[in-house]
């Protein structure tokens, strides 16, 4: 059952895709709806189970990854590299440009919250990293700890 807040978010996601010249197909839309309705991030294999339970259709692992990658490329979802799971973007209904996402991941209940890092903080971080001679490619930050409910 798709909640009304989810269907509004899906409409906005569709508009974003239209702007970007890509198509939010039925399967991509369903995948995003599942991510939006899950409280914690899901792995590709969990997505396959959820998809089957909600829509009675089996996805291959390849098509699950393909849809998830599409959503990540369009910043409708994010991949949490440290746990190898996916979560819907919290800013689909916002008008502002997407900041570099920073994730706060609770290691007890697996909840994730997305916070944008201020650009100057990031520039400072990059400058310091560069000084050490290290070259950064993935700039997404994932911080692990306990959420306020679990402390």
Please pick, from the candidates 89, 102, 103, 112, the single residue that binds Zn ion as defined by CB under 5 A: 89
Shortest distance, position 6 Cβ to Zn ion, whole Å:
16
Q: Are strands 141-145 and 112-116 parallel, antiparallel or unpaired?
A: unpaired
Closer residue to Zn ion, CB minimum distance, 58 or 113: 113
Residue 34 in the binding site for Zn ion (CB under 5 A): no
Return the residue matching tokens 């201020």. Answer: 118
Q: How far apart are CA 70 and CA 77, in angstroms?
A: 9
Report the site for Zn ion in 44-83 (rule: CB under 5 A): none
Closer residue to Zn ion, CB minimum distance, 27 or 91: 91
Structure tokens given for 109: 């209940």
Q: How far apart are CA 128 and CA 140, in angstroms?
A: 16
Enumerate binding residues for Zn ion (CB under 5 A).
89, 91, 94, 101, 106, 108-109, 147, 150
């Amino acid at each position: 059952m798709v909640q009304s807040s989810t269907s509004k978010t899906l409409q906005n996601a569709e508009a974003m895709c239209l702007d970007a010249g890509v198509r939010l197909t039925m399967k991509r839309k369903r995948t995003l709806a599942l991510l939006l309705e899950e409280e914690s991030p899901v792995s590709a294999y969990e997505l396959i189970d959820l998809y089957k339970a909600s829509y009675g259709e089996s996805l291959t692992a390849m098509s699950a990854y393909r849809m998830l990658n599409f959503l990540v490329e369009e910043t409708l979802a994010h991949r949490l590299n440290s746990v190898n799971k996916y979560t819907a973007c919290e800013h689909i209904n916002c008008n502002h440009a997407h900041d570099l996402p920073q994730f706060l991941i609770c290691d007890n209940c697996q909840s994730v919250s997305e916070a944008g890092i201020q650009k100057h903080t990031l520039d400072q971080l990059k400058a310091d990293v560069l000084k050490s001679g290290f070259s950064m490619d993935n700039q997404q930050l994932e911080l692990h700890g306990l959420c306020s409910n679990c402390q």
